[in-house]
Structure 1
Amino acid sequence: MRLYAFRRWTPALLAIAVAAPAAASKSASLLDYVGQCVPFARAASGIQIYGNAWTWWEQAEGKYERTHVPKEGAVIVFAKTARLPFGHVAVVSRVVEKRVVMLTHANWSRQNGERGHAEQDVTLFDVSRNNDWSDVKVWYKDVDGLGGGIYPVYGFIYGRAHAAAELTSRNPDYVGALIDAYVPVSGQPIAR
């Protein structure tokens, strides 16, 4: 294409390029998201914190309530570790019982061989010795159950805005979450 022709079409091409994502985002589901956990958690929870996931806990101080008690719509902040160099944030979609909740988050399990996809209502199990949500296990699609890792957690951040409507499904699998958490593996309970 000659430079003259390109310049002539540039305004039209820019208009199409700008309009297409805007139109797609209006009709797209939160669960169609593919990307990092931080923008997903921000969109799903309404909590307006930016930066690496592990920094959310400190950034929330004085702006949002921080606690060690899960509730629906709260963001859980995973600590920075060798396995999670940027930490991780996820949104509580359902509280199942004292030590079991469901999360909706992005960029955890692989789907179709790639990371970044959103997952709805996955099991999170408190395996901390003091039942204070300081250590958790997370459901991982590749093993269809709780993964083998234990992850340290700072706590939960409560937002002021309403969480996204798609945070949880109409019929979450409470029984499946309890089975993930409490059914023994090789004769040993999953918790420490």
Structure 2
Amino acid sequence: MRDSTQFRTLGDASGESLPYLQCVPYARQISGIRIYGDALTWWDQAEGRYARGHRPKVGAVMSFAPHGRMELGHVAAVSRVIDSRNVLLRHANWSVIEGRRGQIENDVRAVDVSPENDWSQVRVWYAPIGNLGTTAWPVNGFIYPDKSGKSERLTVLSSADMPQKMRAAETPVSRIGADFLRGIRPEAEIKAAPVRRQLTYSASKPAQPRPARLNPALADDPIGRIIASRMK
């Protein structure tokens, strides 16, 4: 839509002046992206000045391409990333509210309806019907507040926003069985346990044979001494 840096005023039936704000100055104000000119020029103007990509990030500006009666395109700031297909937007001059255009809408839903989940087509909340609009609006991509060259392919999905298969790949799987710690005493318990004196064992020495006593009657008998020695 057209870049108008100030509120325009329209008169209602009573002649009272009412504020009318275009999308461009509002997106510039809340995102801090200093691009001027109609919305359809933002994507090309951002090249070389700001990082661009195709994944939503809080604070980034979603750049809509001209489509149908929206000849000047549209820009909206991302206020929240819900998941890989849903975000909330802050923008101006989109819905007709109380019969008037040019009003601000904060935290309204936008859904990626592109076949490849690349945010090239979105449906946006439309206040008059209290639901998402039926048009799939073409999107150029996202302009990030970061300066160009940091990353043109920013990915802002948290682990909670990842598809289940991606989360499973990122999450380490424990291979320790349920009984792995069974029987292992905590370190504090081991330190508190009384120290027991280690017992040592040694084999008892074999009893030494006592020398046989000779019969005094055989003391002078050499044959008797031989027989006695063999009987020990």
Q: TM-score range by the shorter chain?
A: 0.5 to 0.7
Is the 8 Å Cα contact of residues 34 and 118 (structure 1) preserved in structure 2?
no
Matches of 2:40 and 2:83, distance apart in 1: 26
- Which residue of structure 2 aligns with residue 10 of structure 1? none
Matches of 1:114 and 1:37, distance apart in 2: 14
What amino acid is the match of 1:44?
I
Matches of 2:146 and 2:30, distance apart in 1: 12
Deviation at 1:112, TM superposition (A): 1.6
Matches of 1:160 and 1:42, distance apart in 2: 14
Is the 8 Å Cα contact of residues 51 and 146 (structure 2) preserved in structure 1?
no
Counterpart secondary structure, 1:92: strand
| Deviation readout 1:24-52 (Å, 9 max, x if unpaired) | xxxxxxxxx74100001000100011111
Deviation at 1:80, TM superposition (A): 1.0
Counterpart secondary structure, 1:159: strand
Counterpart secondary structure, 2:44: helix
- Which residue of structure 1 aligns with residue 135 of structure 2? 149
The correspondence for 1:138, drawn from 117, 124, 127, is: 124
- Which residue of structure 2 aligns with residue 81 of structure 1? 67
What amino acid is the match of 1:123?
R
Deviation at 1:122, TM superposition (A): 0.4
- 2:64 paired with 1:90: no
- Which residue of structure 1 aligns with residue 3 of structure 2? none
Matches within 5 A, 1:173-184: none
Task: Indicate the RMSD between aligned Cα atoms, in angstroms.
Answer: 1.8
Is the 8 Å Cα contact of residues 75 and 91 (structure 1) preserved in structure 2?
yes
Counterpart secondary structure, 1:97: coil
**Higher mean displacement: 76-85 or 90-99:** 76-85
Matches of 2:146 and 2:119, distance apart in 1: 22
Is the 8 Å Cα contact of residues 101 and 123 (structure 1) preserved in structure 2?
yes
Deviation at 1:110, TM superposition (A): 1.1
- Which residue of structure 2 aligns with residue 43 of structure 1? 29
Counterpart secondary structure, 1:120: strand
- 2:49 paired with 1:59: no
Counterpart secondary structure, 2:128: helix
Matches of 1:143 and 1:71, distance apart in 2: 27
TM-score by length of structure 1 reads 0.65
- Which residue of structure 2 aligns with residue 122 of structure 1? 108
The correspondence for 2:57, drawn from 71, 75, 79, is: 71
Give the fraction of aligned pairs with identical amino acids, expressed as a percent. 55
Is the 8 Å Cα contact of residues 46 and 160 (structure 1) preserved in structure 2?
no
Unaligned runs of 5+ in 2: 1-6, 8-18, 148-232
Higher helix share: 1
Deviation at 1:83, TM superposition (A): 2.4
What amino acid is the match of 1:90?
A
Matches of 1:123 and 1:54, distance apart in 2: 22
Larger radius of gyration: 2
Matches of 1:116 and 1:129, distance apart in 2: 31
